[in-house]
């Protein structure tokens, strides 16, 4: 569809007519030479002397070309454009962050996969989380790994293949041997600050208790709630163990309850897979639909035509003037 961006500029079209009517003709004084034999000089040149100012007559082609040039310039100022058919695109309305514990305890080979194989805790978690990521079409996904210190392995992206590949490269102990749950929640809050999504969800998985955080998990959860971040927590460790290997289920319950999330307990791959399926059911992908119409500017065409007409008119008048002078010299 053709339209003008600034159609009010077309009001300038009658401007030359108003100038013609309202402004007086331009007059210029020129120096002259008085000669006593003016009559004989006029007769010799074949001219008839006249009194008063001489108004140069414009040719019709000049007037028509000037009108066309002005109309083209005004049309260019109105910014003509071609508006295409509407284009729609679905974009993520939610940012989903996965926080995975990779402390030393995740290297224990006591995790039974959904196929019955015995794996390390981290390998079993990576299998389930990779499948979960692969089905997050529509969400922007981020991955945070944590041990003694947390770090962002994958910033928010819709490139699920890259996120899965970077998850597969994760190894136990890359972030230290201890567990920092509170600091991980704090890093997630900071990462979510740049997010403009309507919903922000953090899924935190750990098999240990907080032994390295500078910020207590409960306090970090309260800050997350104030910033609109919902936290689902998953405990995969043994609550009866001691030290770093003991998972603090009470803290995980408190963190989830404070932010309006859910707490889950997983002892094997089948349970963990069911948990992520439940998260997928309770938090389906959120999509917003954006619509716009592509616009192609066309002002360069009338502007270019005006320039070409101006050059052709100037060239024609120059050639005509040159031929006239040559004819006058030859006649003399």
Residues 74 and 98 in one domain: no
Tokens standing for residue 181? 């749950």
Q: Which residue has the higher pLDDT, 320 or 179?
A: 179
Residues 277 and 224 in one domain: yes
Residues 101 and 248 in one domain: yes
pLDDT single digits (tens) 152-190: 999 998 888 999 999 999 999 888 888 899 999 999 999
**CATH number (domain holding residue 225):** 3.40.50.410
Q: Where are the beta strands (DSSP E) in the chain?
A: 2-4, 80-83, 87-92, 94-101, 111-112, 118-119, 140-146, 150-157, 199-206, 229-235, 263-265, 287-292, 295-297
Residues 236 and 148 in one domain: yes
* Domain extent at residue 199: 89-290
**Structural domain count of the chain:** 2
Tokens standing for residue 8? 């009010």
Residues 97 and 73 in one domain: no
Residues 74 and 113 in one domain: no
Q: Does the structure show a pLDDT above 60 at 197?
A: yes
Taking the CA of residue 295 as centre, how many other CA atoms within 13 Å lie in the half-sphere pointing to its CB? 10
Q: Does the structure show a pLDDT above 60 at 53?
A: no
Residues 220 and 72 in one domain: no
Residues 269 and 302 in one domain: no
Residues 242 and 136 in one domain: yes
Tokens standing for residue 250? 């009470």
Q: What percent of the chain has a predicted confidence (pLDDT) above 70?
A: 82
Q: How far apart are CA 35 and CA 296, in angstroms?
A: 66
Residues 182 and 35 in one domain: no
Residues 302 and 188 in one domain: no
CB-CB contact of 177 with 171 (8 Å): no
Segment among 25-29, 57-61, 70-74, 115-119 with least mean pLDDT: 25-29
Provide the whole-model pTM: 0.60
Residues 105 and 169 in one domain: yes
Q: Which conformational region is residue 233 in: left (phi greater than 0), alpha (psi within -120 to 50 degrees), or beta?
A: beta
Q: How far is CA 151 from CA 110, 266, 291, in A?
A: 26, 24, 36
Burial tier of 316 (Cβ tally within 10 Å: 0-12, 13-18, 19+): middle
């Amino acid at each position: 569809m053709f339209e003008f961006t600034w159609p009010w500029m077309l009001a300038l079209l009658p401007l030359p007519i108003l100038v013609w009517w309202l402004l007086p003709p331009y007059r210029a004084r020129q120096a002259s030479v008085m000669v006593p034999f003016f009559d004989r000089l006029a007769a010799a040149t074949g001219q008839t002397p006249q009194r008063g100012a001489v108004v140069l007559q414009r040719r019709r082609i000049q007037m028509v070309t000037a009108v066309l040039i002005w109309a083209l310039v005004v049309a260019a100022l109105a910014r003509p454009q071609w508006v295409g058919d509407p284009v729609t695109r679905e974009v993520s309305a939610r940012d989903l962050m996965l926080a995975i514990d990779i402390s030393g305890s995740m290297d224990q080979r006591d995790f039974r996969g959904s196929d019955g194989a015995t794996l390390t805790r981290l390998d079993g978690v990576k299998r389930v989380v990779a499948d979960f990521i692969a089905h997050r079409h529509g969400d922007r996904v981020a991955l945070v790994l944590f041990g003694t210190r947390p770090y962002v392995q994958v910033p928010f992206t819709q490139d699920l293949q890259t996120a899965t590949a970077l998850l597969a490269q994760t190894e136990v102990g890359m972030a230290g041997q201890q567990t920092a749950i509170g600091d991980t929640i704090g890093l997630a809050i900071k990462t979510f600050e740049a997010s403009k999504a309507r919903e922000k969800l953090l899924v935190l998985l750990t098999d240990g208790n907080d032994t390295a955080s500078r910020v207590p998990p409960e306090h970090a959860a309260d800050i997350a709630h104030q910033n609109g971040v919902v936290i689902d927590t998953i405990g995969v460790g043994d609550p009866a163990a001691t030290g770093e290997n003991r998972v603090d289920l009470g803290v995980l319950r408190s963190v989830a309850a404070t932010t309006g999330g859910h707490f889950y307990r997983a002892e094997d791959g089948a349970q963990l897979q069911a948990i992520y399926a439940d998260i997928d059911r309770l938090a389906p992908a959120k999509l917003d639909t954006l619509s716009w119409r592509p616009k192609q500017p066309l002002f360069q065409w009338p502007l270019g035509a005006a320039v070409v007409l101006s050059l052709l008119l100037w060239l024609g008048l120059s050639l005509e003037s040159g031929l006239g002078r040559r004819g006058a010299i030859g006649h003399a």
